[in-house]
Structure 1
Amino acid sequence: MSNLETDPRESACGGPADGAAGPVEELLDGRDVVLGGPRAMRVTRTLPNRDVRMVGAWCFVDHYGPERATMRVPPHPHTGLQTVSWLLEGEILHRDSLGSEQTITPGGLNLMTAGRGISHSEESVPGARLHGVQLWVALPSHARGTAPAFEHHADLPRPVSPGVTTTVIMGELDGVASPATVHTPLVGAEVALQAGAGTRLALRPGFEYAVLALSGTVRVAGTDLSPGPLLHLGCGRDELELRSEGGGRLLLLGGEPFEERIVMWWNFVGRSHEEIVRFRREWAEGEAFGTVPGAGAAPLPAPELPLTPLKARGRRR
């Protein structure tokens, strides 16, 4: 799933000096976004947020469901990022301009590295239950011009302790590493807690972290967190205490503060207004991003650019 807003907001972010230097507990409310029109699926978008635009290299977080919904996303482009697709219920068929065709189901990871440019489409079974998250990771300068790539990982590491199962989706957590390709030090992990269970996760003080509840209620560092807001935790933590009386599931995101300022508009991540203009023109011309075999729908046109130039304004408002 991607950003289908017809009037996408400019998001300019990055730079370690703007990150939280120590531990914080900030509840960041998301905004409801309708993807593709009034009858399409609704998501809650917590990154980029009004106050915190990135957590490490994580720059986009959409949480959708659980509900009966239909996802039909026509071919559309991406640059300068990785898309991370993670499902709790349902299934989604991914096709891309590399010729990849892969159905993602709960517990598996679809990871698409856009690099210098890729296009893809996504569709679900009409009216079936869907519950999941769509995440983007900004690529650093040394990787953002790389060739596009696609990976599917059906078997991810899942450390188990009494009442707790942790799935390491991206990066590394407490010595356990995902096989997925990363280009900056980061972590993405799902933690499922049975009723009455608790755990302490080992963290890196140099990483900044945030937590998103996916189901139930989990007490996170003294804050009761239910689905909706993103809990921004800042840097400087070496552990994180979790407990759930009724059972719950959450997503842990973290990484080294991203050192580069980025401009994110529609489905593009770049470094300047001029780059975004070029990406948009290349998509309209229909060559640089390839075609998606079997998509069965016309490519999605890019929205109009804003009247004022896109520019970086820092990772925090």
Structure 2
Amino acid sequence: MNVTTAHTPAVIPTPAGDLRRADGGAHGRRSAEPAPAHPSGVAATARIRATHNGRATTVPLLHSDGPFHLRRLRARGEQARVCVLGAMSAPLGGDRLALDITAEARARLEVTGAAATIALRGPTTAPATYDVRVRVDDDASLRWLPEPLISTRGSTLHQAFAVDLAPTSRLLMREEQLLGRSGEPPGHLTTRLTVRRGGRPLLDQHTAYGCPAPAWDGPAVLGPHRATGQLLLVDPGLDTPQEPHVIGDDPAEGYAVLTPLADPRARIATAVAPTPARLRHLLDTALTYVYETPRPAAEGEQ
């Protein structure tokens, strides 16, 4: 696993129906934004835009495309909620998929998934790409909490997250991967996460798993574990960085490392575990630790 971090040291799916893969999505729409797909693949871009109308958060733009079916859920307090459903198997080899999410000023938005995303080889060995582009404006918040991504034998997927945050915005972003189904080796999976806050780089991280990535299953990376993920929290209410904190005392059950970033308002937790359920538990524990651990007293404070 190759990890680079800006300004901080590196540490440890249109409704279901008659959809034809060759036409680029439901109703024959083809988005020009993703790179051209393989002839056997899909090029599709789905979009979510949340805005605040002065009283509540609304979602005036909910554009489903290709394998992405977007559904509004019941609001939770001030927070609008959207679920991403799968309208077809994706991503397959050769697909070019993208999801654009915008939370405008003062909006409160949560985006979840109904089921795991499964990366499959498909009719071609060409890699698939899946880009998630996020913008969170002033005093807005976004909770991006999808279900895990499963990398299956023979698949190749390049996933990228590009996040642009305003200085007063909030973000809770969870990313989980399961490398192979039960008893199955994984395909080749790469992920890149880049985050900018107030126009300045906050995080630039790249990971690679499965052949031909070197040493991804070695003791310095995953070891025997096949579930991995991270949770990124950016909150203006955080101030003094906490010290790095290790969660878990049994290597067989996995562990997480909660680390402050260079910006004192950001934390990232990285975890490895034997099962997805254990991975989720570790990440949830890390989030609880951030908000329940008392802030260290500054010099001169009583």
Q: Which structure has the greater CA radius of gyration?
A: 2
Q: Same fold (TM over 0.5)?
A: no
